[in-house]
Amino acid sequence: MKTHHIWKKCHIGILCIVCAFFIEVKSASSAEHTEHSLKRAVEGNFLMGVALNTRQVNGRDQQATRLIKQHFNSIVAENCMKSSAIHPEKNRFNFADADKLVHFGEENGMAVIGHCLIWHSQLAPWFCIDENGAKVSPDELKKRMRDHIHAVVGRYKGRIKGWDVVNEAIESNGSWRKSPFYEILGEEYIPLAFQYAHEADPQAELYYNDYGMDAKAKRNKVVELIGMLKKRGLRIDAVGMQGHMGMKYPESDNFEKSILSFSNAGVNVMITEWDMSALPNVQTGANIADTVAYRKSIDPYTDGLPDAISQAWNNRMKEFFNLFLKHSNVITRVTVWGLTDGDSWKNGFPVRGRVDYPLLFDRHYMPKPFVQEIMEHQADPSR
């Protein structure tokens, strides 16, 4: 009798534990579902992307991984697909990080973007010179470009949604940048790069990507470039407007004019490297008489962003975000250039070691007020 009673008690106990477990699991999954999410907030407008650094690619920042999955449905490599990283020597590739990034994107149903195939910066040292350090011939450079593009694009064929094929080929004054590619092949290197990329993966979208796209001279040259590629029957799906901004630049009117000019030229637009420095512009050529005072004046927020500056920054970011939404019929992706403020390249550029606040999440992985607002509005549109 006593044993029977104990067993009965045990059964009730086990039942309670099982019920509690299911209630816990259910509430966890519904919490996950109702959790705010930036990608859900902009669903139907554009993809929400983020650039991953190598720590994130290698899963060494678990908090970042959680946020990336929660808020973004597109990823791009901040550095690990550039030629110096992925193809450091003529006969040696280093695909390790890029493979992980692509795998992470696929596992999480994200649109993976390749950045970037042909760029003068972070260029593999062997790419444009021979063993004596002299420029290679035009034919040799064509061969190298073709081999590089075929190897990299070919490896991820069918797995990468689109490639930044050529990056930053135009100067602010609208002239072609005198990069090693230009010096050897003239502007011809641009259509060649698009041709090779298309051969390597005919399904992949192809983009031209650049900064300072609000400037009239650059805008016009990009329109000319789109026309030149289209006239030759080459594929170009979108122009990437990088979107590295500050508190005083660009003017949103000029930025909007460029969005419209590019879409009128027959391509989509992507905001590909969005960030906004909260720091004062650095005057180059300043006479640094008092280094300490100078440093303080260009790095004034080491202990945190004052409320007034934070508010101005959030307002300005919101203004641009609304501009992107306004043109979401042609803007297909908005990608931020890093996850948290601590990750941003802006802490090291144009002055090393400053404390900047350019991204959507702060150093504690918390969303900035304007991001929170966008997500809450989606959850409750009456707000």
Question: Exposed, middle or buried, 337 (CB in 10 Å: 0-12/13-18/19+)?
Answer: buried
Which residue, judged by CB position, is nearest to ligand G3I in the bound state? 345
224 annotated active-site: no
Structure tokens belonging to residue 173: 């004054």
Shortest gap between Cβ of 322 and ligand G3I (angstroms)?
Answer: 24
List the interface residues with ligand G3I, window 304-363 (CB under 6 A).
Answer: 345
Of 236-255, which residues contact ligand G3I (CB under 6 A)? 242
213 vs 375 by CB, closer to ligand G3I? 213
Q: What's the rounded Cα separation, in Å, for the pair 209 and 190?
A: 12
Distance CA 259, CA 213 (A): 9
Of 337, 350, 339, 287, the residue nearest 65 (C-alpha): 339
Say how many CA atoms lie within 13 Å of 110 toward its Cβ: 27
Where would I find the H helices in 186-272? 189-200, 216-231, 252-264
What is the footprint of ligand G3I within residues 192-211 (CB under 6 A)?
211
Of 194 and 211, nearer to ligand G3I (C-beta) is 211
Lay out the site mask for ligand G3I across 71-100 (x = CB under 6 A, - = otherwise). -------xx---------------------
Residue closer to ligand G3I, measured from CB, 41 or 355: 355
Size of the site for ligand G3I (CB under 6 A): 9
Least Cβ distance, residue 76 to ligand G3I (angstroms)? 9
**Interface pick for ligand G3I out of 29, 121, 137, 283 (rule CB under 6 A):** 121
**Cross-strand partners of 231:** none
Question: Of the listed 168, 188, 205, 251, which one is catalytic?
Answer: 168
Q: Tell me how crowded residue 377 is: count the other CB atoms within 10 A of its CB.
A: 12
The residue length of the chain stands at: 383
Is residue 140 part of the annotated active site? The answer reads no
Residue 140, phi then psi, degrees to nearest 5: -65, -40
Nearer residue to ligand G3I within complex by CB, 275 or 374: 275
Residues 6+ apart with CB under 8 A from 41: 374, 375, 377, 378, 379
- Do 95 and 155 form a contact (C-beta atoms < 8 A)? yes
From 140, 171, 273, 319, active-site residue:
273
Least Cβ distance, residue 293 to ligand G3I (angstroms): 27
CB of 356 to ligand G3I, least distance (A): 12
Q: Give the residue with the Cβ less far from ligand G3I, 85 or 371.
A: 85
Q: Considering the complex, what minimum distance in angstroms separates the CB of residue 347 from ligand G3I?
A: 10
For residue 314, the tally of other CB atoms under 10 A from its CB is 18
- Strand 74-77 relative to strand 111-118, pairing: parallel
Question: Which member of 201, 273, 343, 356 binds ligand G3I (CB under 6 A)?
Answer: 273
**Buried-state track 140-170, b at ≥16 Cβ within 10 A, e below 16:** ebbebbbebbbebbebbeeebbbbbbbbbbb
Nearer residue to ligand G3I within complex by CB, 238 or 374: 238
Closer to ligand G3I by CB, 38 or 336: give it. 336
Q: How far is the CB of 121 from ligand G3I (least distance, A)?
A: 5
| Residue 338 CB, nearest approach to ligand G3I (Å) | 7
Q: Does 172 bind ligand G3I (CB under 6 A)?
A: no
Catalytic residues: 168, 273
The contact set with ligand G3I (CB under 6 A) reads: 78-79, 121-122, 167, 211, 242, 273, 345
